[in-house]
């Protein structure tokens, strides 16, 4: 074989191989390898679809919250939330100056937004909103890039150290799908947390929404949260950039070590 | 009355932050790669003869940087074994997830550079096998090189621009959320890429070529180029910061807090020491003629852009979203996303540079511009 023929047979080889790879790539979608969403949703798994026609959410009546953290602990035990991670919690604030001071509590959880900024940035389709509005993460598809954690304006996502992927409040979907209330609602001693279907005009949440002025956290973020608050103080609605957390300052003074990669900055 | 000062957070939690030291390093690598590609295109596409001697070298550098860069991303993942999901699932989010654009860009761009480099060096590979490409073939190669380079320029801009999009799209973080982010990243990338060339070029010219001398005129040219890139970078940063801090909505409070707390790192170290000083060196004939000063400027600007990447990625995440004040980041020494993993990535880069520079006859090609036929 002279040089030219060798050249041509090489070219032929390259062409054939390219065609083969191209054909393989093009036929792959028909084998369901490439998906617009994720395998669970494509299968139509009930846990992924949710309850069609409903729109779940919560109304939190802050006049009734006493800051007891029953919701925080109920959530932790119901969902086996790992140490130092929280799906819901109740920060405590001190407003005003002495002698005109009062305390405020702000129960927070995933807002299950109508326009969730965490979902739209997910590059693997692992996180998505069910048809009933509950935003969940498929812990077997998520690759742990953390884009959703940064995209959430409410800091309501974390890395689960056991599954090693993004994790968050599911509004206790596993309970809700069986007709139960979310753990935090069930355990709320003052009845501050009310759960229900916003599509149903007779639900408790719909009635609360129509009877009281309500608002949401950080409305400017444009995510349209579906957790509404009654009697939310304007001072903490935007979630403040005030100086240190007093709790942290006490921890620093006590000389407690910083073990986490990310920690609260102390003075 | 400023309610903020009357408001204390008694208890709160410490939220999670996903991105560590790998991410600023990734941005630095892709940025420098894009810059090296653009500089090589000065000669390959725009026909600027004065950049011809370094065109091939910086093309190879662009390739190597972009092969090493994605390793940072894989290391930052909590489940790197699931990387295939990135290719298979979630395509409905393609329009809204800039990270997803990386699927196409991070594959297409290094492949294109590799093909361009192979075309560029084809006559030399042939020559080493005792074959000579005809004048007609060489002209054809040249034409193909121009076409590939022309496609490569928007691709290079995209491959770094998209990283700016990744951050700019995050409206939850005031320091990220600006439409200027892609262009800001590109401008600083040109600075770091030129800085890196200023550091590597003399090493390779002095020690790994047959002619063994540093092209001082080229160094001076690069120093001047660096200064102009710094001017562009500073102008864009000026627009960004004036709008973000002064004429902004709610975000300005977080930014004021951030820049107030990090005044020294941001303004003195990054802006004055790492940008203004190299700019002055490049623009002043006295300094620009001195090899040592130019090298110093290159090192400073390369470090400065790394600090800018760090300040943006880590600094942005340090701003509290539901918690007051700032968070602090302490990278782990070993393990995933640690100081050692970044050092390993740099080692990989050096190994790849060595490998690629051994395989490609860049020194033979470069010698054409420095050695006369008789000397050879």
Residue A240 in this model has a pLDDT that exceeds 70: no
CA gap B29, B350 in Å, rounded: 12
**Closest alpha carbon within chain A to B103:** A123
Q: Which residue has the higher pLDDT, A21 or B321?
A: B321
Query: Does residue A210 or residue B133 have the better pLDDT?
Result: A210
Is A130's pLDDT higher than 50?
yes
Reported as a pLDDT band with limits 50, 70 and 90, residue A267 is very low
Q: Which residue has the higher pLDDT, A98 or B94?
A: B94
Is A16 among the domain residues? no
B18 → closest Cβ in A159, A242, A263: A159
pLDDT of residue B129: 85
CB of B294 within 8 A of CB of B253? no
Q: Any idea what DSSP says for residue B269? A: I
Give this complex's ipTM.
0.92
**A159 closest CB neighbour out of B78, B166, B253:** B78
- Number of Cα atoms under 13 Å in the Cβ half of residue B11: 11
Tokens standing for residue B288 = 């620009």
Task: Tell which residue, A87, A81, A72, A84, has the closest CA to residue A262.
Answer: A84
> Looking at the complex, does the CB of residue B344 fall below 8 Å from at least one CB of chain A?
no
pLDDT of amino acid A4: 63
Predicted confidence band at A21 (pLDDT cuts at 50, 70, 90)?
Answer: confident
Domain membership of residue A61 (yes or no) is yes
pLDDT band at A254 (very low <50, low <70, confident <90, very high): confident
Closest CA to B222 of B197, B187, B204, B205: B197
- Whether residue A234 lies inside any domain: the answer is yes
Q: Is residue A191 part of a domain?
A: yes
What structural domains and CATH numbers belong to chain B? 16-84+92-367 (1.20.1630.10)
B329 reaches A (C-beta below 8 A): yes
Q: Which residues of chain B have pLDDT under 50?
A: 1-4
Task: Report yes or no: B179 at the A interface, CB cutoff 8 Å.
Answer: no
**What is the overall mean pLDDT for chain B?**
92
Q: Please name the member of A94, A125, A157 whose beta carbon is closest to the beta carbon of B90.
A: A125
- Supply the range of the domain harboring residue A184: 46-240
**In the predicted structure, residue A159 carries a pLDDT above the cut 70:** yes
Chain A residue whose CA is closest to B332:
A261
Yes or no: say if B187 and B233 are a contact pair by the CB < 8 Å rule: yes
Assigned domain for A221 exists: yes
pLDDT at B128: 83
What pLDDT, on the 0 to 100 scale, is given for residue A6?
62
Count: domains in chain A: 1
Q: B19 is written with which tokens? A: 């991105």
List B residues 210-239 in contact with A (Cβ-Cβ < 8 A): none
Q: Using an 8 Å CB-CB cutoff, list chain A residues near B320.
A: 155, 239, 241
- The bridge status of strand A262-264 relative to strand B327-329 is antiparallel
The residue-averaged pLDDT of A129-145 equals: 96
What average pLDDT does range A39-44 have in this prediction? 90
pLDDT range class, residue A134, cuts 50, 70, 90: very high
Rounded Cα gap, residues A217 and A239, in angstroms: 8
The rounded distance, in Å, linking the Cα atoms of A1 and A104 is 87
Provide long-range contacts, Cβ within 8 A and 24+ apart, for A136-141: A136/A48, A136/A168, A136/A170, A136/A173, A137/A165, A137/A166, A137/A167, A137/A168, A138/A38, A138/A40, A138/A48, A139/A163, A139/A165, A139/A167, A141/A38, A141/A39, A141/A40, A141/B82, A141/B85, A141/B89
Weakest-pLDDT range from A12-26, A36-50, A199-213, B235-249:
A12-26
pLDDT: which is higher, A241 or B135: B135
Q: Which region among A98-102, A189-193, A206-210, B292-296 has the lowest average model confidence (pLDDT)?
A: A98-102
A37, part of any domain: no
pLDDT at position A26 over 70 = no
Q: Does B154 touch chain A (CB under 8 A)?
A: no
In this structure, is residue A21 part of a structural domain? no
Indicate the SS3 state at residue B195. Answer: helix
- pLDDT reported for residue B207: 93
Given this model, what pLDDT does residue A179 score?
95
Give the pLDDT confidence score for residue A246 in this predicted structure: 65
A247: pLDDT confidence band, cut at 50, 70 and 90?
A: low
**Distance between CA atoms of A55 and A14, rounded to whole angstroms?**
55
CA angle B95, B100, B104 (to 5 degrees): 105
Asked if B302 contacts A241 with a C-beta cutoff of 8 angstroms, the reply is: no
**Cβ contact A142:A166 at 8 Å:** yes
pTM for this predicted structure: 0.91
Two tokens, residue A183: 């753990």
Is residue A205 predicted with pLDDT exceeding 90? yes
Q: Which of A39, A89, A241 sits opposite B257 (nearest CB)?
A: A241
- CATH code (residue A153): 3.30.70.20
Please state, in angstroms and rounded to a whole number, the distance separating the CA atoms of residues A142 and B20. 18
Residues in chain A closer than 8 A to B99 (CB atoms): 121, 123, 145, 147
The pLDDT score that the predictor gives to residue A75 is 96
Residue A82 belongs to a domain:
yes
Given CB atoms, is B299 within the 8 Å cutoff of chain A? no
DSSP string, B22-59: HHHHHHHHHHHHHHHHHHHHHHHTT--GGGHHHHHHHH
Q: Provide the pLDDT for residue B1.
A: 38
């Amino acid at each position: 074989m002279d040089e030219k023929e060798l050249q041509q047979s090489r070219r032929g080889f390259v062409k054939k191989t390219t065609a083969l790879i191209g054909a393989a790539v093009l036929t792959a979608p028909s084998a369901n390898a490439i998906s617009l969403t994720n395998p669970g949703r494509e299968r139509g798994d009930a846990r992924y679809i949710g309850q069609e026609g409903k729109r779940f959410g919560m109304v939190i009546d802050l006049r009734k919250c006493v800051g007891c953290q029953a919701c925080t602990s109920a959530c932790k035990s119901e969902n086996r939330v790992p140490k130092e991670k929280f799906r819901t919690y109740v920060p405590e604030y001190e407003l005003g100056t002495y002698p005109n001071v009062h305390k405020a509590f702000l129960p927070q959880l995933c807002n299950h937004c109508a326009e969730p900024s965490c979902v739209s940035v997910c590059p693997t389709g692992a996180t998505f909103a069910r048809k009933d509005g509950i935003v969940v993460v498929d812990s077997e598809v998520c690759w742990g890039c953390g884009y959703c954690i940064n995209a959430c304006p409410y800091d309501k996502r974390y890395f689960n150290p056991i599954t090693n992927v993004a994790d968050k409040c599911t509004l206790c979907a596993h309970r809700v799908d069986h007709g139960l209330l979310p753990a935090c609602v069930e355990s709320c001693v003052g009845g501050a947390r009310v759960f229900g279907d916003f599509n149903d005009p007779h639900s408790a949440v719909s009635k609360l929404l129509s009877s009281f002025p309500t608002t949401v956290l950080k409305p400017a973020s444009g995510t349209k949260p579906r957790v509404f608050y009654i009697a939310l103080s304007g001072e903490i609605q935007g979630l403040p950039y005030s100086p240190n957390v007093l709790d942290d300052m006490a921890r620093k003074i006590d000389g407690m070590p910083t073990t986490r990669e990310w920690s609260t900055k102390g003075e | 009355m400023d309610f903020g000062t009357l408001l204390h957070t008694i208890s709160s939690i410490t939220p999670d932050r996903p991105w560590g030291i790998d991410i600023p390093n990734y941005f630095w690598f892709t940025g420098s790669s894009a810059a090296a590609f653009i500089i090589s295109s000065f000669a390959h596409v725009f026909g600027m003869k004065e950049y011809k001697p370094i065109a091939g070298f910086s093309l190879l550098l662009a390739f190597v940087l972009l092969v090493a860069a994605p390793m940072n991303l894989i290391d930052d993942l909590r489940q790197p074994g699931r990387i295939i999901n990135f290719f298979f699932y979630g395509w409905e989010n393609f329009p809204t997830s800039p990270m997803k654009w990386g699927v196409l860009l991070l594959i297409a761009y290094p492949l294109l550079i590799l093909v361009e480099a192979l075309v560029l060096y084809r006559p030399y590979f042939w020559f080493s096998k005792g074959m000579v490409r005809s004048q007609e073939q060489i002209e054809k190669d040249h034409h193909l090189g121009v076409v590939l380079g022309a496609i490569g320029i928007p691709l290079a801009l995209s491959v770094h621009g998209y990283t700016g999009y990744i951050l700019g799209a995050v409206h939850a973080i005031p320091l990220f959320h600006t439409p200027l982010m892609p262009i800001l990243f590109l401008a600083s990338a040109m600075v770091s890429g030129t800085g890196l060339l200023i550091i590597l070029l003399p090493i390779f010219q002095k020690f790994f070529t047959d002619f063994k001398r540093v092209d001082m005129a080229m160094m001076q040219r690069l120093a001047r180029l660096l200064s102009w890139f710094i001017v562009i970078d500073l102008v864009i940063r000026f627009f960004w910061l004036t709008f973000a801090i002064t004429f902004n909505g709610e975000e300005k409070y977080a930014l004021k807090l951030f820049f107030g707390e990090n005044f020294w790192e941001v303004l003195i170290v990054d802006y004055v020491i790492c940008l203004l000083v190299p700019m002055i060196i490049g623009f002043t004939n006295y300094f620009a003629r001195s090899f040592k000063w130019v090298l110093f400027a290159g090192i400073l600007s390369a470090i400065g852009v790394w600090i800018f990447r760090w300040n943006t990625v880590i600094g942005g995440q340090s701003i509290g979203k539901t918690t007051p004040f700032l968070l602090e980041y302490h990278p782990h020494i070993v393990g995933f996303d640690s100081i050692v993993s970044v050092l390993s990535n740099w080692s990989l880069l050096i190994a790849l540079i060595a490998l690629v520079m051994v395989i490609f006859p860049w020194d033979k090609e470069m010698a054409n511009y420095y050695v006369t036929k008789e000397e050879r």
